[in-house]
Amino acid sequence: MSTTDFETEFETGAAACPGCSMASVAAQHARRQAGDQDETILVSLPTIHCAACINTVEQGLLALPHVKDARVNLTRKRATVHADPGTDPADIVADVERLGYEAHLLDSATLSGDAADRAGRDLLMRLAVAGFASMNVMLLSVAVWSGAEGATRDLFHWISAAIVMPAVAFSALPFFRNAWTALRAGHLNMDVPISLAILLALVTSLWETSLSGEHAYFDAAIALTFFLLTGRYLDHRTRSVARSAARELAALEVPKAWRVGADGDEKVDVATLSVGDMIRVHPGARMPVDGEITDGTSELDRSLLTGETVPVYAEPGRAVSAGEVNLTGPLVIRATAVGRDTSLHRMADLVAIAESGRSRYTSLADKAAKLYAPGVHILSALAFVGWLLYSGDLRVALNIAAAVLIITCPCALGLAVPAVTTAASGRLFRHGLLIKNATALERLAQVDTVMFDKTGTLTAGTPVLTNLEAIPPRDLQIALALAEGSAHPLSKALTQAARDAGVAPADISGITEVPGHGTEGVWQGQKVQLGRAAWVGAEPSDQTAAWLRIGDGAPQSFLFTDRLRDGAAETVAALKESGLRVILMSGDSPKAVQSLAETLGIDDWTAEALPADKADRINALSDQGAKVLMVGDGLNDTAALTAAHASISPASALDAARVASDIVLLGSSLSPLPEAIRTAGRSVRRIRENFTIATWYNIIAVPLAVAGLCSPLIAALAMSASSITVSLNALRVR
């Protein structure tokens, strides 16, 4: 047996037997101790969904020699990889993609502190304590309700008090704190009636118990705390999931650049660059800063900034902006503006002045709270005063005021919104949509107009050849041979199309790429060129095209169009079918926009729109009373995304665009969009139903409480029943 065989067998043996794997755990532990310099790489895996996916990714990564440890977290759709020092994170991403899963690199520095969600854990502990206490107290209360009397009843009340007092002091602290902050600032919020109800219930119950009274509300006080904390926790969790995912998206862009130094290039953080630095930008990379080209020629893709799809020629002396993508040849640029001063960030100023559609919106919960909080106080104060005047007994009056407060307390109201939003965001997340803003669902439900950007939103940003049939086979063979020698997106598209059509490349010698112009070679003694119009001597057109010239013959054009994004046609059709108005606004040339609009059946389209034009159009529509949903990905869309009533951007969008939007589309298909609008509509209906349910419970129980007929048993029943109905109703959204 050779050494390799032995090793393989040893490996499989170790994996197969659980006992042996203790060794592996120990080894892993040792590695963790020793390998602090190990590269920790976080990879986002938006498409993984099952046990088999976990296995494929983990086993696939562990099989690589430089990977020490790989762990997939299915909930966060993320993998943590520990690899040898010096491993290029981009390699790991490529490896995962080879396994058949979409993968994006995450910046681990941006994500640090993400694991320990302290506020959430804190709420969960309080919730657990409240749950424990309320279960035990309920048990004792059942005995009292079913007829315990005299010393037994007093004993049970005292034990309840002993459990509830410390439990409330710990669990209800967040409410007390919020109420105190609100009162000090001189206004009312939902937490004021909550705190008042809990405290008043405890005080009257203690008083009653000390007088051997019949009614004590200890169970109500702790149950109230428990239900409200549940709502609070759900709310917090939905927000923190959105927050951590938003942070994850921010971490998607790993800001690194190659600075040209005296002793070769070094890889540095973009944040450390300063004006005057020389930076090398490789083909395929994005400009990290604004600057001027000092060396090299290439082509630039500016679609994310302006929406135009035709690449721009780049030569020394030309100014470039951060965010443009270098296509063919390496460029060296001298930085003229870095960080906050770049044009990328100046665009943010445009966003700042655009009045946000978000800030104009008052959420349903806020509207309810505004009506509710004063109403509750007035009602219980009236009951107190009324009974005090009628019976002249402070004890009776206080008891009734406490009962009114407990009954009216927004238990179901506190659950009505968070339970629905949690269920709906969970559902949308499974469909690949991430809700970033708390009120985004409610706003999305009101949308009646959808405005799309073209490049990168309705289209995938990758070109496809359109006039394959019109090209003579001989030209196609030559073009294929030339295109195979280049990594330019158009060349790749040409190669793909020609290969699919079964074309064999012609025999061409001396193929060289001329960065910024094209590829040339020699075919049967003649010079052949494939590249930009100006280079081969053709008439430039406003459509994306490459030109082939053989010897001195007339140039042959290869026309390209941007490939439609997956699900774009179905989405537009579905949106129109559900009665929404669809608008297309793009910064691209009229011809390109028109052809796309015709393909998708959009009648209302605008080409060559400037960023401000898009935002103006949205504001004009809003003034007419329309609720606009903006779907866009580029920097030229950010102002429009902010101004719109609701906004969605794909995960491939620039960071600035994602920050400006409420909802992020995680997958590469647009198809979850109509479903998202439907789900939003449904969840808002559920929220309204929940409010109605809660109100009906109050309408029935409040008169009983005011009349002094409400026993602790009725209070407990009303409270639990309404909370449970509301939660069950919310679950129907899933």
What's the one-letter identity of residue 526? Q
Q: Decide: is 71 part of the binding site for other proteins (CB under 8 A).
A: yes
CB closer to other proteins out of 167 and 451: 167
Our CA angle for 62, 65, 70, nearest 5°, is 25
- How many Å from the N-terminal Cα to the C-terminal Cα in the chain? 58
The residue range among 72-80, 216-224, 307-315, 564-572 that interacts with other proteins, by the rule CB under 8 A, is 72-80
CB closer to other proteins out of 82 and 454: 82
Question: Per-residue x/- marks for other proteins, 91-130, CB under 8 A?
Answer: ------------------------xx-x--x--xx--xx-
Local structure of 531: helix, strand or coil: strand
User: Which residues have a Cβ under 8 Å from the Cβ of 225 and sit 6 or more positions away?
Assistant: 130, 134, 167, 168, 171, 172, 175, 198
Round to whole Å and give the CA distance between 483 and 346: 38
| Candidate list 453, 633, 637, 662, residue with the active-site label | 453
Catalytic site residue 613?
Answer: no
- Of 670, 660, 646, give the one whose Cα is nearest residue 250: 660
Q: How many residues form the binding site for other proteins (CB under 8 A)?
A: 42
Name the pairing type of β-strands 526-531 and 545-550: antiparallel
Q: How far is the CB of 235 from other proteins (least distance, A)?
A: 17
Our CA angle for 47, 49, 51, nearest 5°, is 135
Q: Decide: is 161 part of the binding site for other proteins (CB under 8 A).
A: no
Q: Decide: is 33 part of the binding site for other proteins (CB under 8 A).
A: no
Q: Decide: is 136 part of the binding site for other proteins (CB under 8 A).
A: yes
Can you read off the two tokens belonging to residue 130?
């409240």
Q: Decide: is 21 part of the binding site for other proteins (CB under 8 A).
A: yes
Q: How far is the CB of 358 from other proteins (least distance, A)?
A: 31
Q: Decide: is 352 part of the binding site for other proteins (CB under 8 A).
A: no
Per-residue exposure over 384-405, b if at least 16 CB sit within 10 Å of its own CB, e if not? beebbeeeeeeeebbbbbbbbb
Q: What is the DSSP letter of 311?
A: -
Phi, psi angle pair for 78, to nearest 5°:
-155, 150
- Of 46, 57, 76, 550, the one binding other proteins by CB under 8 A: 76
The residue range among 21-29, 343-351, 352-360, 396-404 that interacts with other proteins, by the rule CB under 8 A, is 21-29
The residue range among 65-73, 262-270, 444-452, 638-646 that interacts with other proteins, by the rule CB under 8 A, is 65-73
Q: How far is the CB of 116 from other proteins (least distance, A)?
A: 3
Dmax (CA) for the chain in angstroms is: 116
Q: Decide: is 12 part of the binding site for other proteins (CB under 8 A).
A: no
The residue range among 135-143, 494-502, 649-657, 683-691 that interacts with other proteins, by the rule CB under 8 A, is 135-143
Q: Decide: is 70 part of the binding site for other proteins (CB under 8 A).
A: yes
Q: How far is the CB of 233 from other proteins (least distance, A)?
A: 12
CB closer to other proteins out of 152 and 362: 152
In 37-172, alpha helices (H)? 51-62, 89-98, 108-111, 118-145, 150-171
- Of 135, 381, 382, 728, the one binding other proteins by CB under 8 A: 135
Please provide the DSSP assignment of 445-472 as one string.
HH--EEEE-IIIIIEEEEEEE--STTS-
The residue range among 74-82, 335-343, 515-523, 629-637 that interacts with other proteins, by the rule CB under 8 A, is 74-82
CB closer to other proteins out of 139 and 385: 139
- Half-sphere exposure of residue 574: CA atoms within 13 angstroms, side-chain side: 14
Can you read off the two tokens belonging to residue 483?
């295109």
Q: How far is the CB of 132 from other proteins (least distance, A)?
A: 4
- Of 1, 34, 50, 262, the one binding other proteins by CB under 8 A: 50
Round to whole Å and give the CA distance between 280 and 366: 52
Do 627 and 447 meet the contact criterion of CB atoms below 8 Å apart?
Answer: yes
Angle between helices 218-250 and 394-408 (to 10 degrees): 30
Q: Decide: is 55 part of the binding site for other proteins (CB under 8 A).
A: yes
**Which helix (H) or strand (E) is 518 found in, with range?**
strand 518-523
Q: Decide: is 163 part of the binding site for other proteins (CB under 8 A).
A: yes
Can you read off the two tokens belonging to residue 110?
């941006």
Q: Decide: is 244 part of the binding site for other proteins (CB under 8 A).
A: no
CB closer to other proteins out of 81 and 257: 81
Q: Decide: is 210 part of the binding site for other proteins (CB under 8 A).
A: no
Do 522 and 510 meet the contact criterion of CB atoms below 8 Å apart?
Answer: yes
Q: How far is the CB of 655 from other proteins (least distance, A)?
A: 27
Can you read off the two tokens belonging to residue 604?
């209302």
Local structure of 292: helix, strand or coil: strand
How would you list the strands of the sheet with 312-314, edge to edge?
312-314, 298-301, 325-326
Q: What is the DSSP letter of 554?
A: P
Q: Decide: is 169 part of the binding site for other proteins (CB under 8 A).
A: no
- Of 72, 229, 413, 450, the one binding other proteins by CB under 8 A: 72
Angle between helices 473-483 and 489-500 (to 10 degrees): 130
User: Which residues have a Cβ under 8 Å from the Cβ of 369 and sit 6 or more positions away?
Assistant: 189, 190, 410, 413
Q: Decide: is 319 part of the binding site for other proteins (CB under 8 A).
A: no
Q: Decide: is 47 part of the binding site for other proteins (CB under 8 A).
A: no
Q: Decide: is 154 part of the binding site for other proteins (CB under 8 A).
A: no
CB closer to other proteins out of 431 and 685: 431
The residue range among 54-62, 333-341, 557-565, 611-619 that interacts with other proteins, by the rule CB under 8 A, is 54-62
CB closer to other proteins out of 51 and 389: 51
Q: Decide: is 165 part of the binding site for other proteins (CB under 8 A).
A: no
Q: Decide: is 184 part of the binding site for other proteins (CB under 8 A).
A: no
- Of 15, 211, 319, 610, the one binding other proteins by CB under 8 A: 15
Local structure of 722: helix, strand or coil: helix
The residue range among 49-57, 491-499, 566-574, 672-680 that interacts with other proteins, by the rule CB under 8 A, is 49-57
Local structure of 546: helix, strand or coil: strand
Q: Decide: is 267 part of the binding site for other proteins (CB under 8 A).
A: no
- What are 531's strand-pairing partners? 518, 547
Site for other proteins in 668-727 (CB under 8 A): none
Catalytic residues: 453
Query: For binding to other proteins (CB under 8 A), which residues are involved?
Result: 14-16, 18, 21, 24-25, 28, 32, 50-52, 54-55, 58-59, 62, 69-76, 115-116, 118, 121, 124-125, 128-129, 132, 135-136, 139-140, 152, 155, 159, 163
